[in-house]
Each structure stands twice: as C-alpha cells, then as structure tokens.
Amino acid sequence: MRSSKLLLRHLVFVILFSTLALAQGVMPSRTVVRPVLTMYSSATTDADVVSQALYGATVIVLQEKEGWSQIQTPDQYKGWIETAGLLAYKPGEAYASGKNVVQVRSLFAHLYRETDVTKHAPLLTVPFETRLEVAALPDPSKPARWLTVLLPDGRTGMLQAADVQTTGPPLSIDDTIALSRKFLGLPYTWGGTSSYGYDCSGFTQMLIRQRGKVMPRDADIQAAWSGLASVERAQLEPGDLLFFGSSPQKITHTGMYIGDGKFINATTHETPMVRIDNLNEPYWTKLLVAARRLKP
C-alpha cells in the first residue's frame, strides 16, 4: 500500500511539473521508471509500436494529453508513452549521470529489497545496458557481492555486483561479435531495443553503441547515416553492417557480419529470434542491397 501511494504521489508531481514547464515553453525532461517502456506512433496502445525506452533513461517530453506523453529518447527518436511510466527527477539533473554509475552487463538484473534472494520477489528486473546509480562503486581490491542502488523514485534496492560493470572503453570488433552471441535465442520483438526482445535495427544499434557510437534507430536511416561508409560485398569484414530490402531505396532489415559468410541478426525469418544466418543462402543473397562499415 505504501508503495502504491508513493507512486501515486510521484505521478501527480509529474503531471503538475510537466504542466508548468510546458506553460513556460520549456521542454521538460523525465526519467523512465519501467524496466522497458513501449513507445507508440500515437497516444493509444492500439497504435503501432515504434521503439522502446529503458529504465533510468532521461527523455524529453514534447507534449502531453490524457495520460499520454510524446517523448524524445537520447537517440532523437520520438513516440508516445503512458505518462505513468515517467518520473520527474531532481530539477536540472539526469538520473545515472554522476560518478557512481554502473551498467547492467547481464541479459537481465534483479533488484531486491535486501541481500537475500529468497525472502521477497525482486523489486524490478531491468535489461542489459540499464544504467543505475549506486551508493558506492565496487572496489576491485575488496570484492563485494552486493551494491546498493539509488532508484529514481527515492527507494533503494540491492543489486548483485556480478550483474553490472562500470563504464569502460568502446569494444573492439572482436569483443562486439563475442558480445552479440550472448543474445542468441532472444525473441524478435517489433520495436524492441532491449534484452527483453530486439528488432533488427534495435539490435544493430545496440551493437554499434557498444563500439562507442550512437547510430540512428531505423534500418533505412542507419544505411544512410554519415557515420557509416559504403563497402562492397567482396570486401566485407567482421563488424560490417548488412542492409536488406527490395531495393536500396526500400531497406527493411539489417544485421552484422561476423565473418565466414555469416551474420547475426534479430529476424522473423523462419524462427523469430536473434540468430546467425548464412549470407550465401538464396533468401539473403536476393535481399542484400547494401553494406556499411563504421567510420573511425
């Protein structure tokens, strides 16, 4: 009951703060407080799903109406979400933007009330890449199993240290390919950008993000992105991105080349999941329309 009342107070605060900010011509920022927040093309769950926003992410509210907010994510993508999934964080601050920040490295991480996994159900289960504020960073010289997480709504949670890592340098191509294999078998999810389920462009966008670059969200826009350079099929190297469609002007799918004629992708072909496919199969050869390499 106390938890429900706390969330209700936060929702009222979000609405009042947003109304004031919008009235003053300011685009307010908000923090996502659901593990994965689905974004729609319009203000209804009957609309098309366009993308997702992850727990703890800071988004910009563009407009609001009847329990819905149109938001813009850090990669500049826009969509409508249910306002109840947002929280007005500390004015002038973004959650998980300070020094004591870790990022989920497991496919999922449970946050608990206490340091005992048997007493209660997890408070939250957050996906890969979720950024979290902690009371103190893990000390490599004094390994500890648990970290205290400071949640955006003021609560604290307990997190197993093995589920997270501190932010490190961008991954090499080899490390990115090794990472990509961790997701094999995850379900294909239209609009998905998390380990709860990726779509094709959400998956490749995540892999490029691990290499230190923020790439646009959709496959056709990715293929035209200035951060990529064109490459011929005969010159393909591991880490290159492949784009598929009925023509270069109608790109509908993407994946990452991993060598030996194979590529990894989130696909609905045959089995809807993250899987490794053979570029030399007639199905894929017919659809391949472009290849790109990440610029330095």
The whole-number average pLDDT for the span 256-282 is 97
pLDDT class of 26 with cuts at 50, 70, 90: low
Give the CA-trace dihedral at 208, 210, 212, 216, to 10 degrees.
40
Average pLDDT of the residues of the chain: 92
pLDDT for the residue 140: 83
The whole-number average pLDDT for the span 182-187 is 98
Domain of residue 120, CATH code: 2.30.30.40
- Rg of the Cα atoms in the chain: 20
User: Does residue 160 share a domain with residue 177?
Assistant: no
Eight-state DSSP code of residue 48: P
pTM: 0.89
Query: Burial of 243 by CB count in 10 Å (0-12 exposed, 13-18 middle, 19+ buried)?
Result: buried
Tokens found for residue 100:
């004591």
Domain of residue 274, CATH code: 3.90.1720.10
The whole-number average pLDDT for the span 192-198 is 98
User: Does residue 196 share a domain with residue 289?
Assistant: yes
What angle do helix axes 200-210 and 173-180 make, rounded to 10 degrees? Answer: 140
The whole-number average pLDDT for the span 200-209 is 98
Asked whether residue 12 carries a pLDDT value surpassing 70, the answer given is: no
pLDDT tens for each residue of 51-89: 999 999 999 999 999 999 999 999 999 999 999 999 999
Asked whether residue 198 carries a pLDDT value surpassing 90, the answer given is: yes
- For 264, the domain range is 173-294
Rounded Cα distance, 59 and 79, in Å: 11
User: Does residue 114 share a domain with residue 197?
Assistant: no
Rounded Cα distance, 248 and 57, in Å: 33
Give the whole-number percent of the chain exceeding pLDDT 70: 91
Query: Burial of 199 by CB count in 10 Å (0-12 exposed, 13-18 middle, 19+ buried)?
Result: buried
Q: What's the total number of domains in the chain?
A: 3
Is residue 296 within 8 Å of 170, Cβ to Cβ?
Answer: no
Domain boundary among 45, 61, 87: 87
Contacts of 181 (CB under 8 A, 6+ apart): 264
